[in-house]
Amino acid sequence: MKKNSSILQTICNPQRRSFLKLSGLLGLGVATTALLPASQAEAVLFGPKEYKVSSTRLAMGSFLAITIIHSSRDEAENAIGLAWEEIDRLGGLLSRHDPATPVSQLNSTGVLHKAPPEVLEVVARSLYYHRQTGGAFDITVKPLVDLFKERFAAEVTPSEAEISKLLPQVGSDKIKISFAGGDISFARQGMGVTLDGIAPGYIVDRVSALLAAKGLSNHLINCSGDIRTSGTAAKGKPWTVAIQDPAKQKAYPEVVAMGTGAISTSGSYEVFYDKEKMFHHIVTPQTGHSPRLATSVTVKALSVMDADALATGIMVMPPREGVRFVDSQPGCECFVVGQDGSFRKSARWNRLV
């Protein structure tokens, strides 16, 4: 596997959304995770002029999958090859885990001159949603995420003093962008950004656009629950996405029929740093603690990047407030599973199911 393939695997954090399942890959109406555990493409012939060509990569315990429905197997396989090249390229720009990426350079020095346009675009959109969500979505929680990882690796709970000490370094309002010069900088030392809550969605959007430009209009791309669908699945059936109840009270309380669209789920119930389940990978930027308000948030939006950011941000909000917020956003719907097991839906959600 290419070096940059592992970069994407760290961006497409599978744990936070592993319960978003997808169906329609085999022309079935039941949610499934029957994805291929290898990077090569596999083709299934559904008729004289219809192939389903799929390719996946294992990404830290989950899958990034590309599925294309097309009349030509060769054209679909060639397009998938181009898609992986684009995924590798974007991963090499947006990952915080590889020290050679522009994002890592920004984190290590506090300034990035002549940032690539892709980095500028994702950071700028992150700042937009930071403002839109009243600070709930914040890419500057990296110092806290690093603290959690370090302390719990040593089997020690972070102290309130350690958390409080880092809070002045958190806040996207402390990021400065100069579009004229392409510069990004931090206002305080010790700051850092993680694009894990928005970059996967951006990558999925870019790959979908690439496939559409190549004439492959029927496809599905899934990066650990950040999903873009286009056209139809096999035999003209709609793509469907089934949302699992984290409490397992009902296997799939909601099944969304997708034409061309974007959907993302963020959740906490499977990923905890501690046995007490007080700390997980999502952080409330104002307090430095993990929110315990919802177990999952699913957002359908105009782009996967937007759905990704919104799902992450709404996890930090009280469920009722998060639903009200989504109702105010054009083209957006949401389904929230509360910590108490309750379901909340945006006003127009039922039109999707």
What average pLDDT does this structure show over 27-46?
Answer: 46
* pLDDT above 80: residue 58: no
Q: Please report, rounded to a whole number, the percentage of residues in the chain having pLDDT higher than 70.
A: 81
**The pLDDT value given to residue 341:** 86
The DSSP result for 66-83, as a single string, is EEEEES-HHHHHHHHHHH
Least confident of 7-16, 37-46, 271-280, 287-296: 7-16
* pLDDT above 60: residue 60: no
Q: Please write the tens of the pLDDT for every residue from 73-121.
A: 999 999 999 999 999 999 999 999 889 999 999 999 999 999 999 999 9
Residue 162: C-alpha distances to residues 139, 165, 186 (Å): 19, 5, 21
Indicate the CATH number for domain 102-186: 1.10.3980.10
**The pLDDT value given to residue 275:** 63
Nearest to 266 by CA among 229, 239, 306, 230: 306
Q: Please report, rounded to a whole number, the percentage of residues in the chain having pLDDT higher than 90.
A: 65
What average pLDDT does this structure show over 199-203?
Answer: 94
What's the mean per-residue pLDDT of the chain? 85
What average pLDDT does this structure show over 315-336?
Answer: 96
- Positive/negative CA dihedral, 133, 137, 143, 145: positive
- The residues spanned by each domain of the chain are 102-186
**Could you tell me which residue, 140 or 280, shows the higher pLDDT?**
140
**The pLDDT value given to residue 61:** 39
What average pLDDT does this structure show over 265-290?
Answer: 76
pLDDT classification of 30: cutoffs 50, 70, 90: very low
